[in-house]
């Protein structure tokens, strides 16, 4: 059962007069920000913002106690946290006005969506605006901190070990991904505090409409989760509770929830105003009766004998500072047009092919072992590398044996199983990367990538761009893909069209063991996220005609840059010839079909789908004047149609025929029956018919 304690503050309070006055200064500043934004709403509401009005006490109590080695994940109503860790009103206004020098994103994302990497402040990796999604990356940071401590890679902070604070609204805790984060936090006993600010509102939906219980009761399902439920409008109680919980987590390395009850005293956002939906005067009056500002003011007078004129002076100084900073922020430069495409990808050190692809004296090895050997070499050389996912641990080493023996060699702290939580597997890499680890993760089949797409899209792919270059996510996501051996509708899908549409993510799709090893090495040294699509039908070359996927294992230094295609088969320039552009299993269907058109067919294997070797495609079109795209995906709304558009736009005057595509039959799913599966998929005969038609055109 979760540990639930109602924390009451008594004479042992940690709040001194100086702390209380600093809290009041920050609360006055936050209140002044809200009032200024409202007074200037015609300007400030151009870009959507929310403020912490009503939540200030708990947020300031949190921020004041965080150290530079800590990590914090504020959400969009947490400007008081930002003020209390040392950000100025001017800096926050640069974001509310989307200015070029916005320290978080360079004008790219909303107010109070911070990302910070200052040496003297807690670290804030990028997080999206999707409520609750930050729980997984934040828990990933805690997991990374834990692993660094286990592996002897952590810095010595003289007992002040880092903690992670993840801020959530109570309504966001109904998200399934929050549950995944809680589950992993208690399972692994991670050093994380979930600050749940409960104002009993979603947007326009009240707590009675959206939840069966608050987080205190929900937490009972997570054995080992410490819980404190407090009045989040009471600064002393909030500060003391944070002081107690942070001390426990720094020492005992276990997770907590601080459930703070607070009122919402401002609009949901500047675009969804209170008057749109809060018409109950009694409800509003009750909310205002809980305002933390007069509570702290009265406590300063009663407990610390601070005079009214002193408090008024603090309030006036805050208002003056906020007004001054607003005028300065208004005058700041807006982003320039040329800023739009900066920080798309972090620069990779891998720019050319190196090492020996076919060392002498070696026998060919199956493709799955090439991946295994690549990861083994990476892990032996780089202690910061880890491999995790479902069933990759010591017992079987992956359902395809793609991680066989790795756990035995490197230990359970570096190669380990996770629960069936694709969202956590993918999203946790944001946090692991943020602390300097290099995660290699797996989902068992492409069909099961869907629960992880939210994290891949909102958190992983956008981190580098929306943090204005501060937080690239260096990770590899391995995805067994494609139809093989009657895998049926849940083990056979091709998903490259979806994955290549996620900006900020690189995608590889090798067709040989040598390419898989070389690209795996490149992916590891790339500071950007990489999805490695590995066709399970090529893993062991059991399908007739795929023997070419077996290659001599390249040496340890072999590496292939992304965006460089491979010429599988070259054909001379002539009056009537075709270039096939393909990848994955398409390489082998094309090779089989080419046997009936000797010398007339050139085959280009893209190897990576993002970045794409456009030069190789266009050179092939200009050389042969006819192009056939071969893909395992169905054609409608697909990646392959994008290839067609590029080629026809850039090589139109060279083409002697429309660009043709061979793909799977467009069905909602891939049937289990082997006859139906074979009918659906491309094959050498279908490719041959397309070649014949193109050559006759």
- 3-class SS of residue 470: coil
Q: Is the dihedral of CA 147, 148, 149, 150 positive or negative?
A: positive
* Residue 441, C-beta contacts closer than 8 angstroms, at least 6 positions apart: 387, 388, 389, 425, 426, 428, 429, 475, 476, 477, 478
What is the per-residue burial (b if ≥16 Cβ within 10 Å, else e) of 423-462?
A: bbbbbbbbbbbbbebbbbbbbbbbbbbebbbbbbbbbbbb
Helices (H), 403-495: 406-410, 422-434, 450-455, 463-466
Of the candidates 412, 420, 415, the one whose C-alpha atom is nearest the C-alpha of residue 390 is 420
Helix (H) or strand (E) holding 92: helix 89-96
Q: What is the DSSP string of 361-400?
A: T--EE-HHHHHHHHHHHHHHH-TTEEEEETT-STTTSSTT
Give the three-state DSSP class for 557: coil
Distance CA 259, CA 6 (A): 10
- Which residues, at least 6 apart from 653, have a Cβ–Cβ distance to it below 8 Å? none
Copy the structure tokens of residue 489: 């509708």
What is each CA distance from 73 to 17, 92, 267, in whole angstroms? Answer: 28, 16, 22
Q: Which residue has the tokens 């950007």?
A: 528
Least Cα distance to 471 among 462, 479, 480 occurs for 462
Among the listed residues 343, 491, 535, 624, the single catalytic one is: 491
The question of whether 382 is a catalytic residue gets the answer no
Distance in angstroms (rounded) separating the CA atoms of residues 168 and 183: 16
**Rounded distance between C-alpha atoms, residue 230 and residue 234, angstroms:** 8
Say if CB 112 and CB 49 are below 8 A apart.
yes
Instruction: Go through 295-330 and write b for each residue having 16 or more CB atoms within 10 A of its CB, e for each that does not.
Output: bbbebbeeeeebeeeebeebbeebbebbeebbeebe
Alpha carbon distance, N-terminus to C-terminus of the chain: 73
- Helical H segments across 513-584, by residue range: 513-525
Say how far apart CA 516 and CA 539 lie, in whole Å: 10
Residues that are catalytic: 491
């Amino acid at each position: 059962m979760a540990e639930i304690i109602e924390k009451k503050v008594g004479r042992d309070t940690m709040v001194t007069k100086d702390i209380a006055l600093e809290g009041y200064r920050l609360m006055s500043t936050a209140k002044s920000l809200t009032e200024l934004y409202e007074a200037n709403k015609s300007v400030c509401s151009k870009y959507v913002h929310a403020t912490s009005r009503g939540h200030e006490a708990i947020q300031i109590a949190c921020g004041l106690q965080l150290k530079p080695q800590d990590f914090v994940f504020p959400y969009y109503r947490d400007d008081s946290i930002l003020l209390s860790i040392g950000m100025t009103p001017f800096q926050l206004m640069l974001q509310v006005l989307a200015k070029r020098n916005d320290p978080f994103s360079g004008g790219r994302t909303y107010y109070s969506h911070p990302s910070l990497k200052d040496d003297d402040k807690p670290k804030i990796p990028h997080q999206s605006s999707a409520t609750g999604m930050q729980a997984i990356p934040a828990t990933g940071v805690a997991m990374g901190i834990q692993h660094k401590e286990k592996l002897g890679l952590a810095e010595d902070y003289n007992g002040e070990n880092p903690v992670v604070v993840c801020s959530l609204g109570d309504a966001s805790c109904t998200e399934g991904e929050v549950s995944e984060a809680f589950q992993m936090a208690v399972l692994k006993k991670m050093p994380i505090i979930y600050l749940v600010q409960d104002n009993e509102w979603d947007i326009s939906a009240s707590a009675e409409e959206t939840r069966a219980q608050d987080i205190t009761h929900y937490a009972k399902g997570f054995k080992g989760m410490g819980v404190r439920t407090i009045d989040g409008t009471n600064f002393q109680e909030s500060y003391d509770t944070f002081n107690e919980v942070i001390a426990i987590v720094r020492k005992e390395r276990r997770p907590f929830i601080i459930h703070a009850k607070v009122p919402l005293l401002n609009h949901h956002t500047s675009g969804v105003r209170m008057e749109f939906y809060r018409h109950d005067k009694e409800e509003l009056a009750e909310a205002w009766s809980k305002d933390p500002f007069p509570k702290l003011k009265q406590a300063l007078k009663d407990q610390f004998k601070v005079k009214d004129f002193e408090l008024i002076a603090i309030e006036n100084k805050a208002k003056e500072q906020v007004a001054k900073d607003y005028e300065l922020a208004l005058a700041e430069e807006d982003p320039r047009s040329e800023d739009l495409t900066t920080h798309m990808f972090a620069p990779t050190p891998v720019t050319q092919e190196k090492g020996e692809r076919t060392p002498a004296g070696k026998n060919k090895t199956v493709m799955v072992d090439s991946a295994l050997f690549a990861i083994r070499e990476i892990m032996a050389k780089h202690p910061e590398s880890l491999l995790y996912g479902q069933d990759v641990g010591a017992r079987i080493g992956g359902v395809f044996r793609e991680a066989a023996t790795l756990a035995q060699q490197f230990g359970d702290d570096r190669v380990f199983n996770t629960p069936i939580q694709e969202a956590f597997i993918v999203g946790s890499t944001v946090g692991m990367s943020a602390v300097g680890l290099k995660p290699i993760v797996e989902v068992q089949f492409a069909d099961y990538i869907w629960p992880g797409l939210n994290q891949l899209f909102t958190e992983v792919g956008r981190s580098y761009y929306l943090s204005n270059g501060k937080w690239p996510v260096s990770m590899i996501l391995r995805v067994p893909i494609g139809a093989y051996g009657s895998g049926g509708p849940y083990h056979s899908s091709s998903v490259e069209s979806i994955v290549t549409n996620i900006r900020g993510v690189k995608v590889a799709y090798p067709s040989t063991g040598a390419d898989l090893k070389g690209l795996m090495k490149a992916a590891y040294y790339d500071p950007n996220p990489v999805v490695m699509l590995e066709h399970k039908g090529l893993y062991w070359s059991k399908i007739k005609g795929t023997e070419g996927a077996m290659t001599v294992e390249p040496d340890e230094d072999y590496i292939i840059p992304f965006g460089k295609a491979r010429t599988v088969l070259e054909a001379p320039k002539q009056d009537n010839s075709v270039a096939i552009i393909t990848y994955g299993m398409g390489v082998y269907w094309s090779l089989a079909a080419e046997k009936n058109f000797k010398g007339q067919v050139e085959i280009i294997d893209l190897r990576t789908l993002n970045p794409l070797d456009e030069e190789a495609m266009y050179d092939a079109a200009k050389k042969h004047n006819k192009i056939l795209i071969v893909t395992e995906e169905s054609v409608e709304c697909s990646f392959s149609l994008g290839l067609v558009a590029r080629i026809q736009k850039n090589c139109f005057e060279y083409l002697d025929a429309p660009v043709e595509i061979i793909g799977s039959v467009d069905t909602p799913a891939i049937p289990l029956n082997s006859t139906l599966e074979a009918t659906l998929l491309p094959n050498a005969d279908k490719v041959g018919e397309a070649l014949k038609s193109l050559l006759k055109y």
